[in-house]
Structure 1
């Protein structure tokens, strides 16, 4: 019952603090999504099981704020959390044809048995040419007890619409590294230490509906868990499906 109250409180805080103002401002957006699993950087955040998610984005002067709530299904990686709330405040600007962006990110876990929350900050540069849109970025988490040290994620991604069709091709490469203070908890975001991940996907977009399928993978071994946080069996190559509705 206590974990259900924590989950309800987290979702309620996001709903009251961000959803209501969003619909009173221009430039707002919201989405609802169902996926075969919640995946981040090649790692499953939902025990390899289906998940539900929703997000809202609100303009705040020169900044924008967003909140995303996703079910994590009693996640081993996040110490039994039922859901995660991602809170982001960021801003962007143009440097010629290049778009720059910075973000401050907080991850709040509802129902975790121990304190699992942590924060990150990111910076990225994007460039569009015809149907192609590419981004280079870095996301860093300073040393925190919840993740057993620091974490640094370098990534490059691109997407391109296929001319004459409603289809978009997506690709991403990333690499996670960082310092280790607690080897047990560091396995949470980096099972087995530093690793690389990849994604190749295809989306069909029509009006407000997006249907996608992704092939994702990592170079993490699927065996040899040294920590309950590692969950290596849900960090290997697999296919993920997703359905999203935008408002």
Structure 2
């Protein structure tokens, strides 16, 4: 599903992987917390493969994505959309999200909720999920732990829990950042699985580009997702307005 504010920290890291599915997406861009005033931003991004938690939601084809976010004193609402492979009788995923981001000493936190919707579809793909994260920055390195939980609901055959750990480090005096992540999932989305990514991003002004290796421990020869869980290199490029 798309990249929600919870994944804003990983916007480039997961522009290819923060990514939705069965198309449950995006979790990339961290909302401004604290005492900031009203802020409105938008993004447009192209990816060579739309990945969500290591799984392709675009059938390993390119996708176009965009978002609009409104932040006010730590509270945020937003929408993120992506083209996808045919899911729930539509080729569009729309994620609506809201929450709060703040800090307690050196620790930044976020809590929120996401609705993964499929406009124009038959309604069988719509999923609702709660999110929470903690992050800590030391010098150029930021570590983040996050959890996404979808309770048992109409379009799920049981609940789903996803845990993720991320590390990002800027390279001093360069516009480059390296990143790595690992996730563990249990539930009705994909059963039990691990996923991981490793890559780098380039950021200059409003422009961001990334390149990442993405993989899971699922066997594409026996799993129903087939080639959409095979390892891949995912590139992305986008602008923030």
- Given the alignment, which residue of 28, 32, 43 partners 2:44? 32
Give 1:95 shift.
1.4
How many residues align? The count is: 205
Alignment of 1:87-236 (within 5 A): 87-178=96-187, 186=188, 189-190=189-190, 193-225=191-223, 230-236=224-230
Aligned to 1:71: 83
CA distance in 2, matches of 1:199, 1:81: 28
Is the CA contact 1:122–1:137 (under 8 Å) kept in the aligned structure 2? yes
Give the whole-Å Cα distance in 2 for the aligned partners of 1:51 and 1:132: 30
Shift of residue 110, structure 1, vs aligned partner: 2.3
CA change 1:80–1:48 in 2 (3 A) is farther
In 2, Cα distance between equivalents of 1:114 and 1:223: 29
Q: Distance in 2 between matches of 1:39 and 1:148?
A: 22
* 1:129-156 Cα shifts (integer Å, max 9, x gaps): 1111110111000012323221100010
RMSD (Å) for aligned C-alpha atoms: 1.5
Structure with larger Rg: 1
TM-score (normalised: structure 2): 0.81
Q: TM-score normalized by structure 1?
A: 0.79
